[in-house]
Structures are given as C-alpha cells and as structure tokens.
Chain A
Amino acid sequence: MKQISRWFQRNLIRVYAVFAFTYLFIPVAYTFAFSFNDSGKSNLVWKGFTLSNWQNPCGAPEVCTALGNSIKIGFLATLFSTILGTMIAFALGRHKFKGRSTTNLLIFLPMATPEIVLGASLLSLFLVFQINPGFWPTVIAHVLFCMSFVVVTVKARIASLDPRLEQAAMDLYANERETFRRVTLPLVAPGIAAAALLAFSLSFDDFIITNFNSGTMTTFPKFVYTSAARGIPAQANVIGSAMFFLALAIVIIGQFVGRKRKVS
C-alpha cells in the first residue's frame, strides 16, 4: 500500500496530465468517431459504421461551398494580414520613432477587444456606407483581427535576431538593401511563416466576427452553427477531422524540420 501511495505522490502530476489531455481530446474523438456514423441528415445518434462520409465529403448540401469560402477567405486574409503585419513589425522592431508606444498600444487593442465588439462595430461601419455584408467585408474583418497577431509573432522573431549579424553583413560589404535581402529576411522568415499559419488558423476557425460581416455567405464554422439545430451532417465531422489531422501533420513536420536543422 505504501508503495502505491509513494508512486502516486511522485507521479501525481503526470497522472493528472494524462487525465487533462484526455479531457482535451474528448470532443475531438467524439467528432472523429461520429464522422463514421451512417447518419443520413441528422448526426445525433449513432446508427452504424460507414466510410461513405469520408468517401463523399461534399455529399451534404452546402458543406463544400462553405469550406471553399473559408479557405478562400483564409488565404486572402492570411496574405494581406501577413504583409501588412510584417511591415509594421519591422517598423516597430528595427526603428526608433516618435509615437512608437502609441502604435504598440494600437496594435494591442484589437487583441484585447472582444470579438463581438470588433464584428459589431465593423458591421455598423459597413451599414453607414451602405456596403452589404458578404465576402469582402469578411475578408477585411479577418485581416483586421489577424494583423495584430502577425505583428506580435514577427516582432518577437525580429527581437531575437542578433543585430550583430546585420552589422557583420555590412562589415562584409553588403549595403542596406543587400543586408536585408541576404541576412535579415532569411532569418526572420520562419517567424513570418509561423505568423501566416497562425493567421490562417484564426481566420478559418473564426465564427463571431464572420457571423456579423458575412451576410448570406457561409463559411465552415457558420455552416456548423446554423445546422446545429437540425443536426450537423456527418460530412462536417469529416472535414473537421480532416482539418485536425492536416494541421497536426503540418505542425509535426515543422517540428522535425526544425530539429533536423539543429542536429545534422
């Protein structure tokens, strides 16, 4: 008995971690499991195992339209927010100028604002100018809230860059443009990539802001929400699970590549 209690004392926190991870994955496992449900229209009760959902992920009406919109918006929002955000990050991270702390604050504010306020205020603006909510207003909204995250991510990467590397480049006859091109940019690139990935996942998964600014256009999260009442088609589960595995794969591969670079 004493052995067991001693083992517990030392490993209590590990045991806890296992439980915590299980808790984290329960809904994911559930979603994955029910993607195999032979459900027809309403995926509420388990009816039987089938692969048909995976074989025909676009079978339910609107699922793939919604997914397509989400991907298109995600891509555009990532593109613009990454470019704009990286530019701001460089300005903040590499230059001293008046109004620097005000700019920092302004970048931080969207992250501290509840999504509902961001979405609602944008909608109000669009209404004033009589712009109908839809695809492009949604893209604009996504660029808005992604930009701050891009700035923070890239700025952190720039901060960890040893300024002496750029000095060494200039010492070795590279002018400012060449230094940026050959030393600064390649070294900041992983940060920019991480920021882009973050922006895409934030955009793809966004619901609240999208809900306010998309009008009749559906995105994947919106589709799930509106079909919740009558039961989400299993195809949505398929797509959700697929996204999960895809993202997991990207991150794990990223880890491997990073590790390989260090030990060769």
Chain B
Amino acid sequence: MNQTTELHWIDYLIIVIYFCFVLGIGFFLRRFMRTSSDFLASARSIPAWVAGLAFLSANLGAQEVIGMAASGAKYGIATSHFYWLGAIPAMVFVGIFMMPFYYGSKARSVPDYLSLRFDEKTRGFNAITFAVMTVMSSGISMYAMALLIQTLHIFDSPIRALGLPNEWVFHASIIVSAVIVLAYIFLGGLTSAIYNEVIQFFLIVAGFFPLVTLGLINVGGWQGLQQKLQPAYLHAWAGLNSPQNNPLGVEWFSLIMGLGFVLSFGYWCTDFLVIQRAMAANSMASARRVPLIAAVPKMLFPFLVILPGLLALALTHPANAGGPEGEKGASPVAAVTDNSPASLIPAETNPQTGEILKDEKGQPVLNYNLVIPNMLLKYFPSGMLGIGLTALLASFMSGMAGNVTAFNTVWTYDIYQSYIRRKADDRHYLRMAQFATVFGVALSVGVAYFVAAFNNIMDVLQLVFAFVNAPLFATFLLGMFWKRATGHGAFCGLLSGTLAAALHHGLTLSEGAVPGIKGGWITVLHTYPSQMAQNFWTAIYAWVVCLVITIVVSLFTRPRPDEELRGLVYALTEKETSSRGPWYSRPVPLGIGVLILTLLLNIIFW
C-alpha cells in the first residue's frame, strides 16, 4: 500500500487550495498589523469562541494527533486519561481561577506575569528556557512532518516530475512548510495563527470523523470492537489498582497525581503557547471562557484521535487480540512479524537498509506513529484522501505556527525589550517581532536538520523539556494564591525543582530499560514498572521539591508589600461579581457542567 499510493489531481488540488487559503488570510490581515500589540497579542480583540477553538488547536498539532492514535493502539482506552483526567480539569481550573491574573494583570506573556509577580531573574529563567523550547519544538515538528511525508511516499511523484532526486522529498517538505508558516505569521501575526488554528480544528473534524465512522463500520460497530480486543484495552480505570493489571503500567496514585495534577496543570495553566490564545481574547469574561469553550470539544476528541488507534489494533490483529481468556497485560501484537503493507501498524525499519528493527527480545519494534496515516490511506479514496492529508498537514503547520508566535512574543517582550533594548518606540518592537518570526523559523529549520542528523538528540531534548516543565505549576500556584511567596523563593524553587527532576531521572529506571537516555545514568536506586510510571514520579518529585523550597526560601526572605501585588494575587484581587447572562456564558456554571460531563465519560468507559 505504501509504495503504490498515488495521489490524484483532486488531492493535490485540495492541498494547494488550502495552502493558498492560508496565505490569503495572512495577506488579508496584513493591513491590521500596525502595532506590536496587533502583531503579538491580536490587540486583545478575539471573540471567545475563536480564541477557544485556537486554544484547543494550538495543542492539537499533528504530533499530538498521531501520538494519541499511537497511544490508543498501545494502551487502549486508558489513553483517554490524557484528556478526561489530565486536560479537562486543568482547563477548567485555568479558566476559572488563573485567567483573572493573566488577563487582569495586563501581563503580555506568561514570563511577563512572573516578572510582575516575582522578579526579573524568575522571568528571565522562564523566558529563556521557554524561548529555546519553542524553537526546538517547532523544529522537531517540522522534522516529524518531513519524515512522515518521506515514509508515506505521497509526494514522490511531484518531486520526480520536477526532475529532482528522491531525497528532495524531505528537503521540499521542510522548505515549503517553513515558507508557508513564515509567510502567514509574518503577514498576519498572532491573529493569522489563531484563524488558521480554528480552520485546522474544523479540518481535523472533517477529515477524522468519516475515518472513524468507516473504521467502526469495518470492525462491526462498537460491539465488534469489544469482541476483537482484550478487556484490558477497553477500560480507563479498571485495572489501575496495580501496574501489572493495565497496559499503561501505572497505578492510580501516580496517574492522578503525576498526570492528572502535576503534568496537566503544569502544561495547561502555565504554557504560554496555549495561554497566549486566551490572553488575546476581547474581554476578561471572554478570556475566562476561552479554556472552558475549548474543553467541550476536547472532551469529545478521544473519539476522533484515540479511537483510530483502537480500531487499527482490532483490524490488524483480530486473531491475537481476542477474548476474555486472552492473557491479561500481554501485548496483543506480540506475534506480528510481518511488515506487509496491509498491516496498519507496521514494524519500524532502518531508514538506510530497510531492515526491520527488533528489540532486545527479538520482537519487531512497531511503528505506532503510522496508525493515522495508514488508516487514511486504507479507507479514503482520492478526494477524501486529499481532505484527510490536508487536515494532517494543517495540524503540522499550526503546531509549528503556535510555537513561532509564542517564540516571537517572548523574544520581543521578555528578552529583547527587557534585557537588550529597554526604551524604543513601538514601531521598533513591531519590526523586531517580525524579524523574530523570520529567525524563529530559520532556527526551527536548523533544528529540524540537526535532529535529522543526530536522531537521539530528540529524546534528549524532550527529556530536558520535561525537567524544566515539571516544577512550573508549583511556582504559579504559590504565586497566585499565596501572597507571601517571594521572588527569591520562586527562583530557587524552580531551579531546585528542575534539578530534582533530573536527579530523580538519573537515579531510577523502568523495567527492562538500559541505563542511559531512559534514566539511571547516575545509578539505579529504584525500578519502576513502566516508563510512564517513571515519568509521572519524576514530575511528582519535581513539583514537591519546587513547592517546599519556594515556601521555605520565601519565609526567609522579605515579602513584597501588598500594594505592589494588587491584581496579581488571589487574596488581593477584587472578585468579579458574577456576570449576568445565561449559565453557559458564565465561567463557573460552564466549568461545572464540563466537569460533570467528563465524570460521566469516565464512568461510562470505566
């Protein structure tokens, strides 16, 4: 299937129309870009529903889409914890409790809030690590897209038609995506990125809904799916009493604390990539509704992005994945040895030799990341295939664009204006922001080639990101809800939390892993049942260390006077009297409604 997939003119036409459309939006918005605030913050003019869908889509890059389906095939319905336990409660929390400070303080970015609340060094640490991470992430996203396009051979024939050798599929993917993303952000700034994210949201639904429907029909409906999979793959919570009883290999405490609390709140409540969308909203009421509006589709997205993984698993290996008498916890795909094109979950191959890669036990390593693309190629005829691929390309590009817009804002306001050139007129900062877009994209391209040349570097980078991100939520929680917390406390807390994460990772390992990038690079003191359990505990330790150190150092340092903290801390901020209007337009009732529905979903798929 992979080798013979030829796109028809209709598929190319759909993709080209989409590219033109994206650029058209950039050109249209160009005339509105007069100040740095227009360019970097959409002049705080975005309606709640638009910012809400962008808030959701900015996180829904293709790596998320592909990764969630891959996890669906690996872990089953338990993958939905990333949404129903992880994302939703955090999104409700940030909307109800944290947006008043982000939006109300007039901070221009998340690091900017840290400088208002704490001090320059805390802002500097957060701004610089964040800027580096966004450029790296955007480069990794670019690399992942180029690699996928190369693996699927979908654009081989246009490259051949141009008379270029096959390696150019990779180069062309990088160049074209970089140029398009650069163009539409350079022209239309954050607004352009937000508009394209909203369009991407609808494209993902348009591309994946029919895919899931066809997959479900093929497998014989929900009942057919249940019959073809082991029971362990069909439950979110049952089996969480012990790591041995569920495919995730974690127990309930580390799942709830590690994923549900530390990691999810850390991401959704402090990552400027998503918060930026809410800060662009047109009023405080809108800003608070943004994450809640995003939570509604987020709740339903497991059916679009995780279900394809389950379907692929049921369709590929019905013989191995059967019945309640099937061996619990064992991988249902262990018996696969073929790399036949008909398989939706093919084995990973060495890119140079084409040989199938095997793990230490001699089993082939499965490339779960090809689940979504292979499903698209299997079920969609030309026409729909164009829509499906456009949705995937759109989410790759908006994944990059989200990082680039977050980067140019943090660079311009939190690094350039704070440390390089403090006083200049706004035109100067607007130009700098546009220039930052150009070198942000250029650096991303550099990262993409760097990652391509040294493949293991990607794992190292993602590990370092995890260390830096793990303690963040403790800092924000104390900053917003404990007025005694000081700048010295926050800075020491962040630093020691990051170090604690690295130390914990260096001292522990997951079962069956080799010391090195997977952990245990100092010495192995403890072995976790799975890598996921190790990750969750790394986050929990980092968070606790950051919390304790921040509190202790704060108590020994001089607090800021209350006057300076107005609007930045819960106790010193006037509560907004409950705004009028129907319940669904008020943050608190909307948040409670979202939580009740999420609870129901958890019970249904228990």
Whether A and B are associated in the same complex: the answer reads no
B interface residues (Cβ-Cβ under 8 A, vs A): none
A interface residues (Cβ-Cβ under 8 A, vs B): none
